[in-house]
Structure 1
Amino acid sequence: MAAGSLGVTGYESPSELEGDATLKAKVEEIRLRAGELMGLGDVRATTVPKMTLVAPPRDGGVISTRTFIPHRVHTSIGVLGAVSVATAVLVEGSVAAGVACGVACGAAGGAGARTAPGDTVRIEHPTGSADRRDQQIKRRSDAARSVPRHRPRGLGRAFHLGAGGHP
């Protein structure tokens, strides 16, 4: 989810984000609806889906992240989370691709992700960054697709819930 669309920059500390009751309520509302739309049912008592806010990078990466699992904002990003975000960066038209900065665009940010074979996708998180090479992304995202119970993830689609809880 684009951090700006939720009224934050995406550069806040985990404690700042966790202290924002309005933001947490919005993220939880989206998470619950996303769980239903993904066929996971009522996800109130689970840790999935994990929700990641994305923003243009600030420290030489391709994208900046803040991840809620499910209600705590983690200080880093896990391997699968990094692969999911890197995959979303490479999906044309995704929210992540729209805010990402490609390897060649320097510090401009928000220029749209452009990578070439062998490029590293550096994902910034609150305490540093995680690097994923395009071969790792393809191999891990292909493996995720091969498991029938898995749902497509990381495409950056957000659902606005209007009155009555319907998108």
Structure 2
Amino acid sequence: MTQTGIPFVFMRGGTSRGPYFRREDLPEDRETLAQVLVSAVGSGHALNIDGIGGGAAVTTKVAMLSKAKDNWADIDYFFAQVSVEDGLVDFKPTCGNILSGVGPAAIEMGLLEPDQDVTRIRINAVNTGARIEARIQTPEGRLTYAGETAIAGVPGQAAAVELTFMGVVGTATGAFLPTGALRDSFDGIEVTCMDVAMPMVIARAQDFGLTGYETVQELDANTAFFARMEAIRIAAGEKMGMGDVTRSVTPKFGLLAPASGGGTIAARYFMPWNTHPSMAVTGAQCLASCALTPATVADGLLERPEGSPAQVVLEHPSGTIDVLVDFSTEDGFDLRAAGLVRTARKLADGNVYVPSRIWAGLGS
């Protein structure tokens, strides 16, 4: 045989999509694993023409699932971000949108059984150590994708997937404020470096001469902005203790502006070398935390909600995303949990094939 078949479920999770594998069906060592994922996705071509990727960062994501190794969780969720064109795989971050499909995929794979009308699944995000509780719709003990929940960036309606994130502060850097400051300055631009669910460098759109309401296409075409933003991101990443982030997708970058459509604040999120078409679930938690924290770059851009939990509505290019933030301000800002609602849908299943010269399969 010249190709190796690997079982997978192809899912849309939130506003992302990709293959979901059982971890045991993939090579154990990271180097071979990365080569397998690059081949499966088709990284190395703008259209991912030789793989099942979709030619965008939100469609070259991979989830690898297994039964949890600790007593708290039910499922271990290991994430990989595969680049579209560069043949790179980043195992550092996690993805909240792809996480939306973890519960349904785990049921599809037989890793757990549905429980009554709503199945509660406790998920350990292997990459970051975050803990998430997902509530999946399983009427009469049967998984369903049909429902009446709509999310911005996805057409139609589907069954709700309720996510509650816990233990997400400092998961990548060990600190809420990795630089130790509420604001830093790089190349004359003030930023807030924050690590909540996703390490981020957050700035005001106006400081780049932008409105913060630009479309994805307008931002992606602004090469001067991207060049300046990337230089700032790299410098900030080093100061955040993340080392040389030139080839890493983290930290991510975000821009804030006053809300223009009735939300709490307007935001743009970068992945980081192009603009997210909507909003990342992890990024939404970090941006919402920045918005709620006094003395960050969000000051003056919003009227902060009073009391906890607080509903933060982020305006993004495709609409809005709501983040329910349970926090304390007794000793600075302490995020206890963040809740979001997403949807997911199974798109396909079967085997994805990679050349046997890359990996000959288990037992090879």
Q: TM-score, normalised by structure 1?
A: 0.72
Matches within 5 A, 1:62-101: 62-99=264-301, 101=302
Matches within 5 A, 1:118-137: 118-135=309-326
Aligned length: 130
Aligned residue in 2 for 1:61: 263
Counterpart of 2:321 in structure 1: which amino acid? A
**Bigger helix share:** 1
Matches within 5 A, 1:12-161: 12-99=214-301, 101-102=302-303, 113-135=304-326, 138-140=335-337
Q: Distance in 1 between matches of 2:204 and 2:278?
A: 18
Whether the 8 Å contact between 1:90 and 1:97 is mirrored in structure 2 is no
- Tell me by how many angstroms 1:66 deviates: 0.8
4+ runs deviating over 3 angstroms: none
Provide, for residues 124-148 of structure 1, a one-character-per-residue CA deviation record: whole Å limited to 9, x for no partner.
Answer: 110011111222882247xxxxxxx
Unaligned runs of 5+ in 1: 103-112, 142-167
- Tell me by how many angstroms 1:21 deviates: 1.3
Q: Distance in 1 between matches of 2:309 and 2:250?
A: 31
SS in 2 for 1:86: helix
Provide, for residues 99-155 of structure 1, a one-character-per-residue CA deviation record: whole Å limited to 9, x for no partner.
Answer: 1x22xxxxxxxxxx24333331101110011111222882247xxxxxxxxxxxxxx
Counterpart of 1:138 in structure 2: which amino acid? L
Whether the 8 Å contact between 1:51 and 1:68 is mirrored in structure 2 is yes
Taking structure 1 as reference, are residues 97 and 131 closer, same or farther at Cα in structure 2, changes over 3 Å only?
farther
**Bigger strand share:** 2
Q: Distance in 2 between matches of 1:72 and 1:59?
A: 24
Whether the 8 Å contact between 1:53 and 1:66 is mirrored in structure 2 is yes
Q: Distance in 1 between matches of 2:310 and 2:233?
A: 31
Unaligned runs of 5+ in 2: 1-202, 328-333, 339-364
Q: Distance in 1 between matches of 2:271 and 2:262?
A: 25
Aligned residue in 1 for 2:128: none
Q: Distance in 1 between matches of 2:272 and 2:318?
A: 19
SS in 2 for 1:96: coil
SS in 2 for 1:138: strand
SS in 2 for 1:82: helix
Q: Distance in 1 between matches of 2:236 and 2:222?
A: 21
Aligned residue in 2 for 1:3: 205
Q: Distance in 1 between matches of 2:313 and 2:299?
A: 13
Counterpart of 2:335 in structure 1: which amino acid? K
Counterpart of 1:54 in structure 2: which amino acid? L
Compare 129-138 and 15-24 and name the one that shifted more. 129-138
Taking structure 1 as reference, are residues 34 and 140 closer, same or farther at Cα in structure 2, changes over 3 Å only?
farther
Percent of residue pairs identical: 37
Structure ID, larger Rg: 2
- Tell me by how many angstroms 1:64 deviates: 0.5
Counterpart of 1:139 in structure 2: which amino acid? R
